[in-house]
Amino acid sequence: MALATGGVQPVSTGAKEARGFFVPAEEARHQRTFMQWPTSRKVYPDRWFLNMTRQTVADIANSISEFEPVTMLAASEDQTGARRMLSKAVELWDIPTEDLWCRDAGPVFVVDGQGSIAVSQIQFNGWGKKQIHHHDARISQNVANRLGLPLIPTGLQGEAGGVEQDGHGLLMAHESSWVIDNRNPGLSRDEVEHRLLTAYGAQRMIWGKGLRGEDITDYHIDSLARFTGNGRVLINLPQVPSPNDPFHHAALETLDILKETGMQIEVIPEPTKRRVKSFDFVASYANYYVCNGGVIAAQFGDPKTDAIAKDALTRHYPNREIITLNIDPLGELGGGIHCATQQMPAQ
């Protein structure tokens, strides 16, 4: 719930926002996209599945590279194998990684509209120390150093996949990913909210309750709902919610909160005839990525809902080419295309 009522409320302006820095909307023009090459055998003990995952990451990177520059982060010793799968258009940087989730571990770029750009440092800690992150915890700082950009501390631990922003001063998030001791011990929701608003240069916040402890992210918002413009939201919901599924219950709570804001909301149904049948598979049409001239989205093998999702994205993002990919290995890992990418906005 957002504040006491689930609505949207202005809050005080933070110091960084006063300096004019903010995170632009994802659909604003990008300089490039950053991604991470998955490498850790502790995270991926099955070599066969690791190779499948790498091919999926490469498919996403190669698709985005048709629209804008892509930089893949990988230690030098991992680059030979990566190069075999990646398009020549994808640049490789010698920055060590463990896993692929650049939305969470990668840099959050902020601009001031006057030609300056910086990195707003939300410290990644392995989703509350649930996974090794020796390298991934340093990616944001390493990228900032490579680019010669200032790193602005936010006082937050967490992941950018846990907050959605519209580029017009509004954020939404689930409390379960932020107001939790494994990320931000001792901080109240109001304190977390103030720091998030300052980090993103935003003024208003919508909170949903979310769901703790059921997945590694504690229910990131970007697999459920996305801003598609000022006052517009696209949300991915089960066609027949189960009263016994805690994710369904939490999703419907968030939908009710969004309805209270008066925004234009469109619902995309989740697939029912998907290729992967496992219970914990994440089949999120909302976890897409907007790049220069294109939208890279998932298809799950359900002809009806795949078409509904593509049609919705075409309406919400006119004049962009909609590319749909089989990203099933990411769904098996609990994520999607948006989770694997991080945009660097144009200055």
Domain boundaries, the chain: 9-345
Residues 6+ apart with CB under 8 A from 146: 93, 95
Catalytic residue (choose from 110, 170, 339, 344)? 339
296-306 pLDDT, tens digit per residue, is 999 999 999 99
157: enclosing H helix or E strand: strand 151-157
Report residue 64 as tokens.
């985005």
pLDDT of the chain, 347 residues: tens digit per residue: 333 234 333 333 334 443 689 999 999 999 999 999 999 999 999 999 999 999 999 999 999 999 999 999 999 999 999 999 999 999 999 999 999 999 999 999 999 999 999 999 999 999 999 999 999 999 999 999 999 999 999 999 999 999 999 999 999 999 999 999 999 999 999 999 999 999 999 999 999 999 999 999 999 999 999 999 999 999 999 999 888 899 999 999 999 999 999 999 999 999 999 999 998 899 999 999 999 999 999 999 999 999 999 999 999 999 999 999 999 999 999 999 999 999 999 98
Task: Please give the structure tokens belonging to residue 225.
Answer: 């709902």
pLDDT of residue 293: 97
pLDDT of residue 11: 30
> For 211-256, what is each residue's pLDDT tens digit?
999 999 999 999 999 999 999 999 999 999 888 899 999 999 999 9
Element (H, E) at 94: strand 90-94
What pLDDT is attached to residue 347? 83
Taking the CA atoms of residue 139, residue 107, residue 3 and residue 194 in that order, the dihedral angle to the nearest 10 degrees is: 90
Instruction: Check residue 250 and give its pLDDT.
Output: 96
pTM: 0.94
CATH ID of 9-345, from 3.40.50.720, 3.40.190.10, 1.10.1530.10, 3.75.10.10: 3.75.10.10
Residue 19: what pLDDT? 65
Confidence at residue 10, expressed as pLDDT on a 0 to 100 scale: 30
Distance between CA atoms of residues 298 and 42, nearest Å: 27
Active-site annotation holds for 102? no
pLDDT of 4 reads: 28
**Order of strands, sheet of 70-74, starting from the edge strand that comes earlier in the sequence:** 90-94, 70-74, 30-36, 342-345
The two three-digit tokens of residue 36, written as one number = 């991470």
CA angle 138, 101, 161 (to 5 degrees): 100
User: CA-based angle 254:262:173, to the nearest 5?
Assistant: 35
